[in-house]
A and B are shown apart, each in its own frame.
Chain A
């Protein structure tokens, strides 16, 4: 059985088939990239997995558990974290509190304990803080700990979003265009981090990406989509030479 599996996943908006009977599987510990022209349904697949949309039909399995009907907040509790294409950070909070929200799925304290800030809450906070610090170190975010998000440049925000997802200690991470808007060096950093996430932290990565250099460098396998359908699946080189993929990008 595969680690993560989508079976005949469809999402229809009226007559528009944004995602049309897509099936794929992600193996534990691999980096799988989804590519495709604009409007191919890549981000829609992510939004289906994190339950922002409800699939028209099809099922999603994670660790042999059917998660199609889980409420959206439970998806994170299962160990699936994600980033967004158009950064969704908590703008008027500090970097540190943004990252601590990433720890939310690990919080165990009750409201009344928090009102009194009992020693157990304090101890938990320190554990959260230590984990957050590990992520800060991993992604070189030390200069920004107490900065407000609203004052930070785009490239840093992108990394902070990745950091927030990592803070939840996910088993599977969904990266929605991690390199969009980044310059060449920042994209390089991103590719190292993605590979380190796999090798050092043992996280399985599912990623939507347009930058083929990054895709080639990090992916174990690639899926190409167009008009909501799978065109090709395989190693990066195979997919790029697939005639349907070439046609989709360059026109027939």
Chain B
């Protein structure tokens, strides 16, 4: 176990508390840099999605994790970023400009959504953001002159300073990784400055924040704008990765996936966004695998247990029918969220910290260290 001796105020400010962090993050970056030359193209494609989802996860963490404002409308912000890119690309606007424009426009719309949200708390805010997402979805489907309606829009290959960057090239992956790393560093900078602390203050007690001089309304709008802008940037990359976008890609389910990213990863740290993104991107192929192979496996097990060929075949078709039920994916997502909220509210990153502490303290770890208990309940709060 390492003990930190702080001798300078700088020690409270720096991003890496000690050199060990620099080494491990350096190694991680090195691994990520050589990944495209080692991994299969399928895994690379998954890794690009991890980067994009993690970027949205960080954006959502700023709003939900640190400012305490829930949002189920982030698919809409992603859509606005994606469609801005697709629309501007039609007029041969170069990538850096439409990338920034998409972020700026989404940020502006995020701020506009933030204003009505000032008067809403908790579940009402969730409903407001859901309705915002539906409005955006509807506009994308109906505003055919701009969005091409339900036929969707095709996005041309990304071209950066005259060089083509195909969506499955290592270059595109590096671009997504770069955006993610810059987002994370920017967010960390924000969190160690007055703005980030004001966000956390609003999350924990609006009354106290206000009495300390925080303009709560302004900072909530700022939080919405920043979160939306980052999601807009991710939307541009998302559009390029898919090369085709249509309104039915940006549904409530996608917003829920983003919420899952932060809930499962852990809402108190940026690590959570990355871990949650890995989880959500990898669960899809896993579910597909289950869907394809599970019926056969179960039938096989039934056959070995002595069931006749006919019964085994029956079981196989029943399981297959169940596995291809409509809405099964949504149900599984729901169950995952419930299980995490009940048993691991700190998410995957929280679990990782517990495992780490276990090894740091090895023979002395106490099982009750993370036992949840109510220490002190507030009687009355000013809202």
Give chain A residues whose Cβ lies under 8 Å from the Cβ of B378. 86
With CB as the reference atom, state the residue of chain B lying closest to A76: B213
Give chain B residues whose Cβ lies under 8 Å from the Cβ of A168. 212-213
Given contacts A84-B382, A129-B13, contact A115 B190 (CB under 8 A): yes
With CB as the reference atom, state the residue of chain A lying closest to B226: A111
- For residue B289, CB closer than 8 A to chain A, the reply is no
B12/A129 in contact, CB under 8 A: yes
Give chain A residues whose Cβ lies under 8 Å from the Cβ of B208. 84, 88-90
B325 to chain A minimum Cβ distance, whole angstroms, is 40
B379/A104 in contact, CB under 8 A: no
How many Å lie between the Cα of A130 and that of B8 in the bound state? 10
Give chain A residues whose Cβ lies under 8 Å from the Cβ of B381. 86, 88
Contact of A126 among B9, B195, B198 (CB under 8 A): B9
Interface size class, chain A:
35 or more
With CB as the reference atom, state the residue of chain B lying closest to A82: B211
**Per-residue interface assignment for chain B, residues 235 to 269, with 1 indicating a CB less than 8 Å from any chain A CB and 0 otherwise:** 00000000000000000000000000000000010
Interface stretch of the complex, out of A93-101, A190-198, A211-219, A222-230: A93-101
A72 to chain B minimum Cβ distance, whole angstroms, is 5
B211/A76 in contact, CB under 8 A: yes
A77/B204 in contact, CB under 8 A: no
Give chain B residues whose Cβ lies under 8 Å from the Cβ of A111. 190, 195, 222, 226
Given contacts A52-B382, A111-B222, contact A130 B9 (CB under 8 A): yes
A151 to chain B minimum Cβ distance, whole angstroms, is 7
Mark out the residues of chain B between 1 and 52 whose CB falls within 8 Å of any chain A CB in the assembled complex.
Answer: 9-10, 12-13
A125/B193 in contact, CB under 8 A: yes
Give chain B residues whose Cβ lies under 8 Å from the Cβ of A21. none
How many Å lie between the Cα of A105 and that of B201 in the bound state? 13
Interface residue SS majority, chain A: helix
**Per-residue interface assignment for chain A, residues 61 to 81, with 1 indicating a CB less than 8 Å from any chain B CB and 0 otherwise:** 000000000011111110001
- For residue A102, CB closer than 8 A to chain B, the reply is yes
Give chain B residues whose Cβ lies under 8 Å from the Cβ of A97. 197, 200
A114/B193 in contact, CB under 8 A: yes
Mark out the residues of chain A between 145 and 195 whose CB falls within 8 Å of any chain B CB in the assembled complex.
Answer: 150-151, 154, 164, 168
How many Å lie between the Cα of A122 and that of B192 in the bound state? 10
Which of A90, A97, A101, A154 has the most chain B CB atoms closer than 10 A to its own CB?
A101
Contact of B205 among A90, A107, A114, A122 (CB under 8 A): A90
Given contacts A73-B214, A130-B9, A154-B376, contact A88 B198 (CB under 8 A): no
A146 to chain B minimum Cβ distance, whole angstroms, is 9
How many Å lie between the Cα of A126 and that of B196 in the bound state? 16
The 7 closest A-B pairs by CB, nearest first: A76-B213, A107-B194, A114-B193, A90-B204, A105-B213, A88-B208, A117-B189
Chain A residues at the B interface, C-beta cutoff of 8 Å: 47, 50, 52, 71-77, 81-82, 84, 86, 88-93, 96-97, 100-105, 107, 109, 111, 114-117, 121-122, 125-126, 129-130, 133, 150-151, 154, 164, 168
- A-B CB contact pairs (8 Å), 14 listed: A52-B207, A74-B213, A76-B212, A84-B382, A88-B207, A90-B200, A90-B203, A92-B200, A97-B200, A107-B193, A111-B195, A117-B189, A117-B193, A129-B13
